[in-house]
Every structure is written in C-alpha cells, then in structure tokens.
Amino acid sequence: MASETIPRPEQVRAARSLLGWSQQDLAAKAGVAISTIADFERGQRSPIPNNALAIRQALEAAGVLFTETGVSHGFHWTFMTERGTSGLIVTFTPEAAGPVIDFASIFGKVEPPKVSIDTIQCATPELRNKVHDYVDRHAAKTPHLFRLRKMLDDMPDGEFFLLLPTPPSSTAEQFRYEQVLHQLNHPQEQPLDEHLQVFGRLLEKYDLCMPRTDKHFNIGNAKKADRTCRFCGNSRKTGAQFNKEAHAIPAALGNKYLKLADECDDCNQYFGDKIEPTLVELLNIQRVFLGIEARGSLPTVKFPGGRLFRDGNNDKMMVVVSEKISEDASGVLTAQLGTGKPIVPQSFYRALSKIALSVIPEQELPALAKTIRWVRYGESSEAPLPKIAAAVVMLPPDPSAQITLYIRKEPHSKMPHVLCEFRLGCYMYVYALPFSERDDGNLLGFFEEEEFKQTFRHYASVPSWSQQDYSGNQEIQVLQSIRLQPSNAPIDGQPS
C-alpha cells in the first residue's frame, strides 16, 4: 500500500491501541486538532488529504505498518553481543499479542506517547525474568520471541549488549558500536584498541553522512515553490515541475522512504530511463538472492536462458531455473542464465554517483558541478574514471539499500573529496565521486595510496575486495551464470 493512501478509521483506532496512544497523543504527534481525529475515527468526517497524511505519517514514524487487512507494529531491532550481531524482527497485530508498549517497556522507558529504548542493555537476572514472563504470556502468537529468550539465557550474568533500533548502516557505524561494547565489557583494558585509533584518524579527516532509510525522509525544500533541482538547476520560475516523487535510491532496491525533494520531473525521468536500469540490471541477482521487495512484491528476474525468483510459498526459497545446468567432477554446479539486457558500464557508476549526489549536504554541491553534469548529461564521459571496489561483508541484512558518504574536511588533498559506500544486503561497493573541484588529481589508483589505506583502515578488515572498472561507455552484453559448489570443492583452483 502506498504511504500516501488515506488510512481507514478502524486502522487508526487499531494503531493507537497498539501504541497505547490516546486521541490527544495522536493529535499532538500529527499536528492536527483532536476533533479531527475523533470525527475521523467515528466515521463522521474525512480529514483533508494533508491532515490524513500527517496522521498516517505520525503513526508510521512510531513504527506502525499499514497493511491491506489492518495494521501491525513491528520492531526490526538489532542485538549486538560479544558473540556477534543478530537481527530480531518482531511483529504485533492488535489481535495477536499484548500491546507493543509492554514489550518495549522491558528495554526502556515508556511515557506514552514517548518510548525511549536504552541502547546499552545488561543481561541481568531481572531482565531475563521480564523477558521470560513476556514470552510465556505471548509466545504462542509470537514464536520469534523464543530466539530473544535463548540469546539472553546464553549470556553470562552482567554482560552488556547493545539494542539498536536500526541496524548499523555502514562498516564505520558497526565498528563504533563494537568499540562501545568492548569497552563496556572490558573496562579494565586501556582503550588502545586498534579500531579506536583507526576511527579517530578517519573522523579527524572526514565527516560522515548516513541518511536513514527506515523512516520517511525528504531531502531538500518541502515547499515546491522554493525548490531548485540539484541536477539541472531549474526551479518553477524557469519551468521545472516537481510533481513526481524522486527516490534518492531507486525503489527497485527496496527504498521506500528516502526521497529527494530537489529533483525535477525531467531529471527524474532521465535517471529512471537512462541510468538507473543499468544499476538495477547489474544488481538483479543480488536482489533475488536477498529477497528485496520492490513496490510490495518479491523480484523475479528473467534472462534469455533462465530465470531467478523467490518462492513465496516455500519459506521464500530462491529458485534458479536454467536451460543449461552442468556439474563438473568436483560437484560444482553451474547454471547459465544467458546474457541480460545490454548495459553501459559507466551508467552503473553514474547511477551510484547520482545516489550520493541526492543525499549529500547542499553546501558540497558547488564543488561537484562537473560531477553533476557527468551524471545528468553524460559530459566528460571520455575521461578516465577510478575503479569501484566491491566486497561481500558481514553486516545484518536491511530491507533497503544503504548509502554512507565520507566527506573530506580539508579543502585539498590527494584523498577523495567524497568517498561513498553503497550497500545492498551483504554486497558493498566503495567508490569516489569523480570530477570534484576539491580533488587535486583524477583519483585514479587512489585505493592504492598509502594515505588512503592509513585513513580508511577499516576496509582492510574486509576479507576480499575486487576492484572493478566501470569506465566503459559503450553497450556491452554480460553473461550471467550462477555457480553452486560444495564447501570442499576448490575455488578457482585454490584450496578453500
């Protein structure tokens, strides 16, 4: 259901009861009169669209999900312990379990309508008892809570763990949380931890920009009359229209909430027609593998020689259908899918850069004028481009792709002005925005520079990077195939 749909009166009532909110609480959160809510819930009067949207957004911001049949409330919490990170998705419906508030109050303070969860938690006998109690009362309807109980039971008394309302969206954030956790559980150790020094150095030189993708967030000017398109520089006065929604990260990559107000309809159309299809095409297999929903449905990807999809009936299993599946002597299966649509490699780089330009703070844009013309009009497409580094990382999965930017503080240096980290599930791409006026050179080979390695030392802990060249600006065909191998089979001739 699109987030712009007007909720039904019974949905609003049910959502309030899940949250334990009074009509007054909701009115305050949504910035509307109490009578608006009361009349609406009684079915007496429909609110004007702006008020209906405000009501819906206030409820969604508190975690309520509107479904076809009613409402539910979910947590997508991440627990970090000394033994690792795991996600816990808990969903409540009004008829299925006690109010969300009861559950939330185990981990924080609840003063309706405000719920504050403490990030730092301690596995005390008291906390364990509360969780046992809750699970006993509600587990029949919410069996996923058994995992939470088991995790707590497995922890030694008094050990600290972290409860994050949203998963870490970058390696940098993950490392920072790990430091905090380590310090809490090992207070006697000097904070000489390698990571601490690493990050100190990075944050001395770079600012971090990590837009959230789990809540409605519009970058730029709320009022259409004040908007200037980031890409073509037009405003309403010069004929630009701002009627379409511009996603900062394409919706096909699971992004529902992060939008750019300052993108005109023409530019939106151009990106959607010309460069984003390449990004989506090259990430198709990953999308199916991760089961990323786009516009409410699981992806199916068709190739001339086969297709990939998620079997929604069978625990969302990934299914590979291919005309050519072969097995070699060591038991490695190869499914050839044929060639996908022809793609222009440089469009992949431009689409990734477009995401960064959509979320970067406005004051950085003047230095990136040439970058913008490259992304929007394909200017400078003959100039050499730095490589893009790709890796598979162990971070908890996210329903949407994530973007993190590192923006250099010093005006000039050999290091990139803007370094971007784009992540789709466990697949991470690290790249620099090319053509910045604040870069001294063309950035070719910057990954190999000693200063870069010393500053972005956390990337050294990622086990295997591959540097890929996306500078080609002619159409090419990519042969897609999937290989399945038993864990004892050699990988590319090397012992595993």
Binding site for Zn ion (CB under 5 A): 229, 231-232, 264, 267
Q: How many CB atoms lie within 10 A of CB 210?
A: 17
Is residue 18 within 8 Å of 71, Cβ to Cβ?
A: yes
- Of 5 and 269, the one with the shorter C-beta distance to Zn ion is 269
Number of residues written out for the chain: 496
Sign of CA dihedral 282, 315, 76, 155: negative
CB of 240 to Zn ion, least distance (A): 6
Q: Which residue has the tokens 């400078």?
A: 380
- Of 174 and 228, the one with the shorter C-beta distance to Zn ion is 228
CB of 408 to Zn ion, least distance (A): 27
Residues 483, 336: Cα–Cα separation, whole Å = 9
Joined tokens for residue 257: 């909430």
CB of 263 to Zn ion, least distance (A): 6
DSSP assigned state of 257: S
Residues 445, 451: Cα–Cα separation, whole Å = 12
CB of 264 to Zn ion, least distance (A): 3
Helix (H) or strand (E) holding 407: strand 402-408
CB of 291 to Zn ion, least distance (A): 34
CB of 265 to Zn ion, least distance (A): 8
CB of 242 to Zn ion, least distance (A): 9
Q: Is 91 helix (H, G, I), strand (E, B) or coil?
A: strand
Residues 49, 70: Cα–Cα separation, whole Å = 20
- Of 108 and 272, the one with the shorter C-beta distance to Zn ion is 272
Q: Is 464 helix (H, G, I), strand (E, B) or coil?
A: coil
- Using alpha carbons only, give the angle 159, 165, 167 rounded to the nearest 5 degrees: 90
Q: How many CB atoms lie within 10 A of CB 422?
A: 26
Joined tokens for residue 374: 């490259």
Q: Is 194 helix (H, G, I), strand (E, B) or coil?
A: helix
CB of 252 to Zn ion, least distance (A): 21
- Of 128 and 370, the one with the shorter C-beta distance to Zn ion is 370
Residues 437, 477: Cα–Cα separation, whole Å = 34
- Of 110 and 240, the one with the shorter C-beta distance to Zn ion is 240
Is residue 332 within 8 Å of 485, Cβ to Cβ?
A: yes
Residues 430, 465: Cα–Cα separation, whole Å = 10
CB of 228 to Zn ion, least distance (A): 9
Residues 377, 296: Cα–Cα separation, whole Å = 32
Do the bridges between strand 120-122 and strand 160-164 make them parallel or antiparallel, or are there none, so unpaired? Answer: antiparallel
- Of 5 and 238, the one with the shorter C-beta distance to Zn ion is 238
Joined tokens for residue 27: 């009115």
CB of 274 to Zn ion, least distance (A): 13
- Of 138 and 373, the one with the shorter C-beta distance to Zn ion is 373
Joined tokens for residue 21: 């909110």
Half-sphere exposure of 411 (CA within 13 A, CB side): 0
DSSP states of 298-336 = --EEEETTEEEEEETTTTTEEEEEESEEEE-TT--EEEE
Please report, to the nearest 10 degrees, the dihedral formed by the alpha carbons of residues 269, 361, 467, 177 taken in order.
-130
Q: What single-letter amino acid sits at 476?
A: I
- Of 270 and 431, the one with the shorter C-beta distance to Zn ion is 270
Residues 400, 402: Cα–Cα separation, whole Å = 6
CB of 78 to Zn ion, least distance (A): 37
- Of 234 and 468, the one with the shorter C-beta distance to Zn ion is 234
CB of 64 to Zn ion, least distance (A): 34
- Of 193 and 265, the one with the shorter C-beta distance to Zn ion is 265
- Of 232 and 403, the one with the shorter C-beta distance to Zn ion is 232
- Of 11 and 268, the one with the shorter C-beta distance to Zn ion is 268
